[in-house]
A and B are shown apart, each in its own frame.
Chain A
Amino acid sequence: MKNTMVKQKQNKSSLNLLEALNKWGTIVAIVAIIIFFTFMLPDLFLTSSNVVNIFRSISIVTIIAIGLTVSLSVNGFDLSIGSSATLSSSLIISFFIWFNMPLGIALPLAILITLSVAAVNAFLIVKVKIPDLFATLSTMFIFEGVAMTYTGGGSISQGMPRLDGSPTVGTLPKMFTYLGQTPWIIIIMVLVVALVHIFLNHTKHGRYMYMIGGNPEAARLSGIPVKRYRTLAYIISTTFAALGGIILASYIGSAQINAGSGYLMPAVAAAFIGSSFAGKGKPNAIGTFFGAVLVGVLENGLVMMSVPYYSLNIVKGLVLALALASTYYNQKKF
């Protein structure tokens, strides 16, 4: 015992630097990337219009990633967020174009129906006891298919006839189109981050979720209803994914096939980068936001440097690998 303590002390100074880097690595990386692009793209990158552009572009990723963060907080993993976003975007556009519903009904209804994803997830994970990753992998496919079946395998936009050829008369309400535009899209993102930050850190429910994530057995034996909170985590996760999908629909003004699936990977990257933020060592809302900033800044700069869109995934994938490495590298296993 004593020996290891001495060793720990000796390692401390070298550890401090490593720890600091791990703690503030996200910020350091963001600053470094900004400096890099500012030099490479003078007059273009660090302009107010581009900064707003970056924030706008990360809004949807952030909102979806925040939901994922909550599922991660109970040591779960929600791979179905992309499909949830697709489903809710298809639903809400169809409500307007096909059924001419008012916003006040269409929006809550789209979220409510999308919550069926959470219901299936919770059933498979909490009741059937399938590991989170596999359960949500299957629901990811199921609801991708559900969304596509619902839209008849095509997109929905204003003026386009329905599947059976009947003409559509619905239009997108003005209020709805605002959601995907600045400043509203950014305001919504900030609200979502703040809300979940408060939820996770300043309510007993958030505390319970972290406890369950840290040690489900100890949490259970402390009298915390673990199953209930795991279900709640997936409900929250799907809710934010649905919200992200709705904003996405507003932003592009139509429902596209698999529109949400592209958001899964950057959301996972953002949440994992965020876990190490400020040395928290656990999923947290503020960290996820900065994780999304990092991914967004990188993507924006690379696009401006005319890196082709089809090569961007290489970089984004590498960032994800790096983020995962920082989470898992220090674990003592095997």
Chain B
Amino acid sequence: MKLEMEKIFIEFPGVKALKGVDFAMKSGSIHALIGANGAGKSTLMKVLSGAYDHYEGEILLDGKAVEIRNPKQAKMLGIDIVFQEVDTALIPYLTVGENIMLDSLANDMGGKHFVNWKQTHKRAKEVLEELHINLPTRRLVSRLTLAEKQMVLIARSLVQKPKFLILDEPTAPLSTAETKELFRVIRNLCSMHGVGIIFISHRLPELFEICEDITVMKDGEFVSCRPIKSTSIKEVVDDMLGGNMVDDYVKKKSVIGEEVLSIRNLTDKEGTLDNASFSVKSGEIVGIAGLVGAGKTELCKTIFGDNTIDSGEIMVNGKLVKPSSPYHAVKEGFALVPEERRKEGVLVEEPVFSNLSAPSLHNFTSLGFLNTKKEKVAAVKMIKDLGIKTPSENQKVALLSGGNQQKVAVGKWLQSNAHVYMFDEPTKGVDVGAKSEIFQLIEGLAERGKAIMYASSEIVEILAITDRVYIMYDNRIVKEVVTSETNEEEIMYYSTGGE
């Protein structure tokens, strides 16, 4: 069976996410879909699986136009998706068998009221056996590992006899052994059941291992589709970048001083950071590059005492520190502007002024009482300095735009006496104007002699603002480069597992 998507357009408030994308593949084959962050690959696959009803363009099965406007229609046509966040699709306190048979329990019961559990578990077991997955059907899903949960979801799709199965970054959280097992199951699905697999991943080497064709997307557009045998990692990276992304931000010359932060062999207990070693000097902006899920956030959070340190050393100004919580990290002179701004960075229900004073509230007390007046005076000054667009310092942060919220999230640390500032994707959801203002803010901090870590999956930004870059892949720092001597291709190459 042949699947074709023709001239798919979709728009969200303020963004043209897909601009006339074409995509084609056959069932019984494994097709890679790749692109940099924001290229639109997940959006395209959501269209195919019926998550949106407002796209334009045609979807054809064997040359016949079909209507896919909701997930049910997609499933009826034999198109299913396994999302990266497996937990959202599973019910943890039900058994493996019940979860595998969930769709048929929900839809195929008809007028029946009693469930035939024996039959349900028998059928679930058959499906697992077809895939050669060894998993007791009566085990609770809450006791499974992430990889096993993925298997349950794949088995669930197979119950519905799909023709096409989309796997959205399935390998990102898996270990090498688990990935191998997943690949075995995927190959089995493809060859034994004739399912067409669309495989989204950022890890180029594994795409070259398992896929037959590769489609590259960039900025919501189709770039290329090639058989994997006739291309190379380098060629794919070139396609992903397209060589035309430039940030016209002009960085000031840094004045670099003594070493402020030194990290040696840092590993966390959660298993999301593996043996990281690096250093940042005073006045230096150091980039932490890597794709989404490479471990950049975990690196920042481990240093900030949010993840638990398993082994390794953190030195600030030559002094060994061991932040066991963010509270301690702040005391040791760290500041973190977290990635999830609205969830972690600002208090959306509180006014601007109390957000700005949150980490340095002790500066605004006399005899234990808050001096709200002083707090507001400082807030007004900061609003002016940072160019935060708000009617007043009393405005709720929830009512500000993304860029201005981010300025608040950065601004709140300026009054504290931190030595090391960590920025995790600080320009996410921020418009171009606010972006260069945030860059200026960061440079201002560097000029004051602070040590800066700038974690971002946007290579263009890394190149624009940093002095030196560490590249992360699979929870490890794999490469160190000097910004002025590198380019996008090199960073992308190491970010996608090139060696």
Contacts and interface: CB of A to CB of B under 8 A. Distances in A.
Contacts of B325: 220, 225
B348 interface: yes
Interface stretch (A77-85, A141-149, A151-159, A203-211): A203-211
A217 B347 CA distance: 9
A89 B338 CA distance: 48
Contacts of A215: 343, 347-349
A223 B350 contact: no
Interface in A216-231: 217-225
A220 B329 CA distance: 11
Interface in B299-320: 304, 306
A1 interface: yes
B238 interface: no
Contact of B327 (A202, A224, A281): A224
A208 B369 CA distance: 13
Contacts of B344: 217-218, 221
Interface residues of B, number: 33
Contact of A223 (B326, B338, B347, B354): B326
Interface in A176-235: 198, 201-204, 206-208, 210-211, 214-215, 217-225
Contacts of A3: 13
B381 to A, nearest CB: 20
B330 interface: yes
Contacts of B412: 222
Given A204-B370, A224-B327, A218 B365 contact: no
A218 B329 CA distance: 14
B63 interface: no
Given A204-B365, A204-B370, A210-B350, A223 B330 contact: yes
A202 to B, nearest CB: 5
Contacts of B329: 223
Nearest to B336: A221
A203 B365 contact: yes
Contacts of B369: 198, 202-203
Nearest to A281: B349
Nearest to B340: A217
B347 A207 contact: no
Contacts of A220: 306, 325-327
B362 interface: yes
Contact of B347 (A202, A203, A214): A214
A221 B338 contact: yes
B345 interface: yes
Interface in B405-461: 412, 416
B306 A221 contact: yes
A223 B327 contact: yes
B14 interface: yes
Given A203-B369, A207-B354, A208-B361, A218 B327 contact: no
A223 B346 contact: no
A3 B12 CA distance: 12
A1 B431 CA distance: 14
A207 B357 CA distance: 10
B347 A219 contact: yes
Nearest to A206: B370
A207 B304 CA distance: 23
Nearest to B337: A221
Interface residues of A, number: 25
A218 B345 contact: yes
Interface string A218-255: 11111111000000000000000000000000000000
B76 interface: no
Nearest to B401: A1
Contact of B362 (A1, A202, A204): A204
B358 interface: yes
B293 interface: no
Interface in A279-294: 281
A203 B358 contact: no
Contacts of B327: 220, 223-225
A315 to B, nearest CB: 32
B359 interface: yes
A207 B370 contact: yes
B368 interface: yes
Contact of B359 (A202, A203, A210, A223): A223
Given A204-B361, A214-B349, A221 B326 contact: yes
Contact of B331 (A201, A206, A221, A223): A223
Interface in B197-253: none
A201 B375 CA distance: 13
Given A211-B358, A214-B349, A221 B370 contact: no
Given A1-B13, A202-B369, A204-B370, A224 B350 contact: no
Contacts of B338: 221
Nearest to B346: A218
A198 B347 CA distance: 22
Nearest to A3: B13
Contacts of A208: 361
- A3, A198, A207, A220 — which one has the most chain B CB atoms within 10 A of its CB? A207
Given A203-B368, A223-B329, 6 more contacts: A1-B14, A203-B370, A204-B365, A211-B354, A218-B343, A221-B338
Interface of B: 13-14, 304, 306, 325-327, 329-331, 336, 338, 343-350, 354, 358-359, 361-362, 364-365, 368-370, 372, 412, 416
Interface of A: 1-3, 198, 201-204, 206-208, 210-211, 214-215, 217-225, 281
14 contacts: A1-B13, A3-B13, A198-B369, A201-B370, A203-B368, A211-B350, A211-B354, A215-B348, A215-B349, A218-B344, A218-B347, A221-B336, A221-B345, A223-B329
Listed from nearest, the 10 A-B pairs whose CB atoms lie closest are: A223-B330, A225-B327, A204-B361, A222-B358, A1-B13, A222-B359, A214-B349, A214-B347, A217-B344, A215-B347
